[in-house]
Structure 1
C-alpha cells in the first residue's frame, strides 16, 4: 500500500471514529490528508469502500491486541485483569456515534459480528473454561452462557437509545466490566488489582 493510500485510510478511520461515518464527508477526509477527492475515489471507489477498509483495520488491531494479552498472560485471571486494565487500548477510540452509524451499514456490522463469533468468542470461551479448571472463575457459570450474555450485551449496546441517561460510553463500559469481572470470579481468587482501582 502506498504512503498516500495509508494516509487516506488513517484519516478516514480517525474522522469516522471521531465524528461518525454519516457526519464525515469524502471532502473532509481529502482536505485533512491533504489529497484530492478523486485520489480517494481512485483508491477506495466510494465512502463505503473506504469504510470497508477502516473496519478491516479495526478488526485487525482488535485481534492483535487480543492475541497480545492472551499470549502474555500467565493464566485466565491475569488475562481478565489485563483486559480490564487496558480497556482504553481495546476501545480503539470507537465512539458511540461510530457504532450507531455502523448499524446502518449491515455488511460492515456483519463483518464485526462474524469476527466476534469466529475468533473472539471461541478464544474467550476457552479462557473461561481454563479459568474454571484452575479455580479462578466460578464453575457454576457456563462459559457458553457467559459468552452468549456478553454477545447480547454487545449487540444491545449498539443501539444508541440504550445509553440515554447512562452517561458516557467509557463510563458505561467501565461499569459493565467491573460487574462482569467481579461477578464471575471465584470467591477468594486474587483479584485485588481491580478492587484497588
Structure 2
C-alpha cells in the first residue's frame, strides 16, 4: 500500500472512531490527509469501500493483540490475567458512536462476528479446556457453554439499544470482563490472584 493510500486509511479510521461513520464525510477525510476527494474514490471507490478496509485493519490489530497475549502467557490463568489487565488495549479505541453507526452496515457487523466465531472463540475454548485440565479454571463450567455465552453476549451487545443506561462502551466491557474473569477461575486460584493484586 502506498503512503498516500495508507494516510487516507489512517485518517478515515481516526475520524470514523472519533465522530462516527455517518457523521464523517469524504470531504473531512480528504481535508485531514490532505488529498483530493477524487483521490480517495480512486483508492477505495466509496465511503463503504474505505470502511471495509478500516474494519479489516481493526480485525488484524485485534488478532495481533490477542496472539501477543497468548504468546506471552505462561498458562491459561496467566492469559486470563493478561486479558483482564490489558482489556483497554483490546477496545482499539472503539467508541459507542462507531458501534451504533456500524450496526447500519450489516456486512461489516457480520464480518466482525465471523472473526470472533472463527478465530477468537475456538482458541478461547481451547484455553479454557486447558485451564480446566490444569485445575486453574472451574471444571463445572462447560467450555462449549462458555463460548456459546460469550457469542451470545457479543452478538447481543451489537444491538445498540442494549447500552442504554449501562454507561460507556469501555465501562461495559470492563465490567463484563471482570464478571467473566472472576466467575470462571477456581476459587483457590482466584484468592491467589486477589492477594497478588493486593501486593502490587
Map 1:109-128 to 2 at 5 A.
109-128=109-128
Q: Which residue of 1 aligns with 2:39?
A: 39
Structure 2 stretches lacking a partner, 5+ long: none
Q: 1:126 to 1:193 in 2, by over 3 A?
A: farther
Partner Cα distance (1:118, 1:173) in 2: 21
Aligned structure 1 segments of 4 or more residues deviating by more than 6 angstroms: none
Give the aligned CA root-mean-square deviation in angstroms: 1.4
169-178 or 58-67: which moved more?
169-178
Distance in 2 between residues matched to 1:80 and 1:148, nearest whole Å? 18
Q: How far apart, in 2, do the equivalents of 1:26 and 1:102 lie?
A: 17
TM-score for the superposition, normalised by structure 1? 0.96
Residue pair 1:21, 1:102 contacting (<8 A) in 2 also: yes
Instruction: Show the counterpart of 1:105.
Output: 105
TM-superposed deviation, 1:111: 1.0
Q: Cα distance, 1:192 vs. partner?
A: 2.1
Relative distance call for 1:22 and 1:148 in structure 2 (3 A) is same
| Count, aligned residues | 197
2:76–2:127 CA contact under 8 A, matched in 1: yes
Q: Which moved more, 1:90-99 or 1:158-167?
A: 158-167
The answer to whether the Cα contact below 8 Å between 1:125 and 1:144 also exists between their aligned partners in 2 is yes
Counterpart Cα distance in 2 of 1:194 and 1:13: 38
In structure 1, stretches of 5+ residues that fail to align are none
- TM-score normalized by the length of structure 2: 0.95
Counterpart in the other structure of 1:171: 171
Distance 1:131 1:95 in 2: 32
The corresponding residue for 2:138 is 138
Match of 1:88 in 2: 88
- Matching residue of 2:180: 180
